[in-house]
Chains A and B, each alone.
Chain A
Amino acid sequence: MKKLDIHRNIQEPTSEAMKEHMNFDEVLKRSKINQSSTPKSGSKSWWWIGGSGVALSIVAIWFLINQKNASTPNYESQSIEMKSIVEIKPLDIPDVLSLEISVPDVVSTTMNNHEQSNSTDTDQKPISKVVYLEPKLVSSIPFVFDDQFNLEEQYQQFEELSIYKNMSFMPIDKAQQSMLKLSWDSVTFHKSNKEQYYLILYKMGQGVICPVSPVFEEDHFVEALKAYNKNK
């Protein structure tokens, strides 16, 4: 609240003094002028006009930002730069054996499963190949999560991140950076159907979703890059 000017035991104007200011004709006149929507000469009317202008500007800016967001990353629309699981198009392969020979080791487990479960299936369905996420370098991350959250264990559940250690998280929305510095009861790591990674930060039973990009600080980037080159 604004600072108060407190006046103690001051004399209020007398009824006569108050009535000296009465001027009903002027009030009536003003009420008619204002009803015809002419801006009144007081500063408040200009404030309203200014306010309307500001409101229009906000709507215009909002529209422009939305237009821009159609091409910039956000939680829902981010162009999945980190998209890591790619689909292999149906191959013209005569039998399963030749397929086992031609694909990298990483996929062989998938292939074997496929063979066991459907060895007589002649349909050529798309096969998923794990492509590890290429490590991304950032200068520094101003926050570190507590080891007790086991984030490393959590992100290694995702195949494309399973080869990495000491990975960090950069919020997509920079405004959320300061939020990550807060003390949280627990933090969980997830990936949406649209391939967007996100953290859920829990405090007092309430969760906050924070879309993130997996990144590496300088100290761990070289190690991550080696792991990537070895497995790609």
Chain B
Amino acid sequence: MKTVSAIYHQGPSLLEEELQWIEASKKDPSAFGKLYQKYYTDIFRYIWKRTTDEELTATLVSDVFVKAIQGISKYTYQGVPFSAWLHQIARNELNLYYRSTAKNRSVVIETDQLKDVMTDIEEDDKEEQLQKLISGLSELDQEELELLEMRYFEKRSFKEVSDILNIKEGNAKVKMHRVMQKLKTIILKK
């Protein structure tokens, strides 16, 4: 499975530049503008895929960056990229939002992504099976769904997934494997 996120897996020079922006933002919040420009669409996409509401997404993204500016002094680079730190804030904002409202959580999927899942669980990718997979998604718990979304629907690497979920990479792999087994069981049961 192709999992490339250029913005996440950036080279040393870009990383160095980013760290300079972060340090500057700690002294002067208006210096955060460059980070805002760089990550806005990435965070927007992440939230939109879980809300499918453009206006709501814009509000939540705004909340994410407000919190990021307020918390930037606490951020120090210790192997977890700035992008993952922003995604962690976005994840918290989404959780807060869904806890405080009665709205259903949205999931955006494409047929090809569903077929990738079916291939990996060694099941037929006919439409009937895909429908079973779709209905099986609601049987996953929140973290399981997030793992599946990030790995299969957003094509993120295990490193990135583990950084966002704040778990170890090996743990993310084990959990992902269990999710796939669970989905297979659900599909076979239906």
Interfacial residues of chain B within 144-171, with CB under 8 A of chain A in the complex: 145
Q: Check: A35 CB closer than 8 A to any chain B CB.
A: yes
Type the 1/0 row for A1-35, where 1 means its CB is closer than 8 Å to any CB of B: 11111111110110101110111101110111011
Number of residues from A at the complex interface, CB < 8 A: 32
Chain A proximity of B71: nearest CB distance (Å): 10
Chain B proximity of A123: nearest CB distance (Å): 70
Contact call B100/A43, Cβ cutoff below 8 A: yes
Contact call A7/B107, Cβ cutoff below 8 A: yes
Known: A21-B61, A24-B36. A12 touches B104 (CB 8 A): no
Tell me the complex Cα distance, A50–B111, Å. 43
Known: A5-B52, A27-B69, A44-B96. A18 touches B44 (CB 8 A): yes
Contact call B110/A9, Cβ cutoff below 8 A: yes
Known: A24-B33, A28-B30. A6 touches B48 (CB 8 A): no
Type the 1/0 row for B90-120, where 1 means its CB is closer than 8 Å to any CB of A: 0000001110100011111111000000000
Contact check: which of A5, A17, A31, A43 meets B66 at CB < 8 Å?
Answer: A31
Contact check: which of B36, B59, B108 meets A7 at CB < 8 Å?
Answer: B108
Taking CB atoms, residues of chain B closer than 8 Å to A15 are: 41
- Residue among B54, B59, B96 with the highest chain A CB neighbour number at 10 A: B54
Known: A4-B104, A12-B48. A28 touches B111 (CB 8 A): no
Interface of B is mostly: helix
Contact check: which of B36, B44, B49, B108 meets A27 at CB < 8 Å?
Answer: B36
Number of residues from B at the complex interface, CB < 8 A: 43
Taking CB atoms, residues of chain B closer than 8 Å to A3 are: 104-105, 138
Contact check: which of B48, B61, B70, B110 meets A31 at CB < 8 Å?
Answer: B70
Contact check: which of A18, A26, A27, A44 meets B45 at CB < 8 Å?
Answer: A18
Contact call B138/A19, Cβ cutoff below 8 A: no
Known: A1-B145, A35-B70. A23 touches B108 (CB 8 A): no
Taking CB atoms, residues of chain A closer than 8 Å to B104 are: 2-5
Q: Check: B141 CB closer than 8 A to any chain A CB.
A: yes
Q: Check: B58 CB closer than 8 A to any chain A CB.
A: yes
Interfacial residues of chain B within 68-99, with CB under 8 A of chain A in the complex: 69-70, 96-98
Contact call A2/B98, Cβ cutoff below 8 A: yes
Tell me the complex Cα distance, A7–B58, Å. 19
Taking CB atoms, residues of chain A closer than 8 Å to B106 are: 4-7
Type the 1/0 row for B18-45, where 1 means its CB is closer than 8 Å to any CB of A: 0000000000011011001100110011
Q: Check: B142 CB closer than 8 A to any chain A CB.
A: yes
Q: Check: B137 CB closer than 8 A to any chain A CB.
A: yes
Contact call A19/B41, Cβ cutoff below 8 A: yes
Tell me the complex Cα distance, A2–B101, Å. 11
Contact check: which of B29, B105, B108, B134 meets A2 at CB < 8 Å?
Answer: B105
Contact call A31/B29, Cβ cutoff below 8 A: yes
Type the 1/0 row for A26-61, where 1 means its CB is closer than 8 Å to any CB of B: 111011101100000011100100000000000000
Closest 9 pairs between A and B when the two form their complex, measured CB to CB: A21-B58, A31-B69, A18-B44, A5-B104, A31-B66, A5-B106, A27-B65, A3-B104, A30-B66
Q: Could you list 14 examples of A-B contacts with CB < 8 Å?
A: A4-B106, A7-B109, A10-B108, A12-B49, A12-B108, A13-B44, A15-B41, A18-B45, A21-B54, A23-B62, A24-B33, A31-B29, A31-B69, A31-B70
A-side residues, CB < 8 A to B, are 1-10, 12-13, 15, 17-19, 21-24, 26-28, 30-32, 34-35, 42-44, 47
